[in-house]
Chains A and B, each alone.
Chain A
Amino acid sequence: MIKHLILTALALGLLTTPLLAHSPMTESAPDNGAVLAEPPSEITLNFAGPIRMMKATLDEVGKGGTKEIALDIPDKKPNTTVVIPVKVLSGHEYTLSWRGMSGDGHVMKGEVSFSVSE
């Protein structure tokens, strides 16, 4: 029986392949750390698998100080590409913080920082 169990387990092992780590973010536009000449009207996040984006905030740093802006997420259905409309100003630095749920139920979160030239 032990022999059968080991052989079965090895056979199962041969059938398996490495898994994707939940649904990690693969890229963003703008890129993390980007310095932009023009203020973007939206931020696009791409993921390895579908994610339900639940919350996004934008920290704005300018001459007048820091403020946190809550962002509307137009589509909360599972998506591999999430587009978040933003209103940003020239001469400011921004950090987008996002939270969502991946297809396997894990809470995913991340940040994207960028700045806009004067």
Chain B
Amino acid sequence: MMGETVFQILIVLFQALLYATALYTAGSLLIIRFLPLPNDLEKALRKSVFSRSLPVSLETTILLIFLKTGYLYDEGFFGMFNLDVLSVVAFGPDGQAALVRIIGLAVIAGCAFMRAPSMIELAGVSLLVFSFSLTGHSTGEPRIVLTLLVMLHLLVIAYWVGALHPLLIAVSNPARLEETAHLAERFGNQALFVVVGLLTVGMVYAAALLGDLSALRSSLYGQVLLVKLALVSVLLIFAARNKTRIVPALMEGDEHAATSLARAIRFEAVCFLAIFLVAAILSSILTLPAS
């Protein structure tokens, strides 16, 4: 029988997978629009989005509705299919978020098939990101401010996540060292704004949720949030090293720098996965300390 703990673990794992695939999807399309990329990299990224991350986002969104139903009803595996409880979840905040997310993914997929203008594709990306503000802690008051904070926070993370794959493809090809150096430099210049935005929005959002910074140490929610902040700090150290040392070396044609950059990108990807896992614990299981 599937107990409560099994449901909690599955919800956290699939929520983390949803963050990873949805933000990869959103971020890749943002990078294509705003970095921008050489044609072959754009093609590879779009292929990865439409064959992997977008379908997995869709499937995970639907699966999470059933897992949430099972967790709420607490009657084992078959509890996931209790129509009474399923309808409550489907018509509640989780169902609304899932609907908006599915519409966002459909708009993105539709744009690819119909060759629609990129503005419509960006509207799909916005819907996808907006869907995450419809559940959990961001639904409190002041709602508009928290929604904007969540959207900004996720957009900057998505942009960073979206840059990793094309940079890794580019840096893995020794023949395009110079092109990679310029791409990495361009992203590095944008990343300055991304990092400042990520930190500012993240701290304001955390302060808004906790209300009191002492709750960071005194509550389990705050302690897990500190783990997330520690992981973000590691990411920032890597970003600073890339910008100040590796990319300048790459600009000078240093092939060893390419190897270092590839290693750093892989490590950043692992860091992001860990952050998504911690974020899933914060948003799915833990409750905020009472105010």
Contacts and interface: CB of A to CB of B under 8 A. Distances in A.
Contact of A106 (B197, B212, B287): B287
Interface stretch (B87-95, B177-185, B245-253, B261-269): B87-95
B193 A15 contact: no
A18 B204 contact: no
Nearest to B289: A21
A17 B141 contact: yes
A17 B289 contact: no
B139 A103 contact: yes
Contacts of B76: none
B287 A22 contact: yes
A19 B140 contact: yes
Interface in A88-113: 99-101, 103-108
Contacts of A67: none
A99 B50 CA distance: 39
Contacts of A19: 137, 140-141, 146, 208-209, 211, 288, 291
Given A9-B200, A17-B211, A18-B212, A52 B92 contact: yes
Contacts of B288: 19, 21-22
Contact of B204 (A13, A20, A103): A13
B142 interface: yes
A74 to B, nearest CB: 14
Interface in B87-107: 88-89, 92-94, 97
Interface in B14-40: none
Nearest to A108: B287
Contacts of A76: 84, 88
A105 B291 contact: no
A34 to B, nearest CB: 22
B58 interface: no
Contacts of A103: 93, 139
Contact of A54 (B73, B137, B146, B209): B73
Contact of B72 (A12, A21, A54): A54
A16 interface: yes
A12 B287 contact: no
Contacts of B165: none
Nearest to A104: B139
Contacts of B279: none
Contacts of B146: 16, 19
A47 B74 CA distance: 21
A1 B193 contact: yes
A24 B196 CA distance: 35
Interface string B211-231: 110000000000000000000
Given A6-B200, A19-B137, 13 more contacts: A2-B193, A6-B196, A12-B145, A13-B204, A15-B142, A16-B146, A16-B207, A21-B291, A54-B73, A105-B94, A105-B135, A107-B71, A107-B72
- 10 nearest CB pairs, A to B: A18-B211, A105-B93, A19-B140, A16-B208, A21-B288, A9-B200, A104-B139, A18-B291, A105-B135, A13-B204
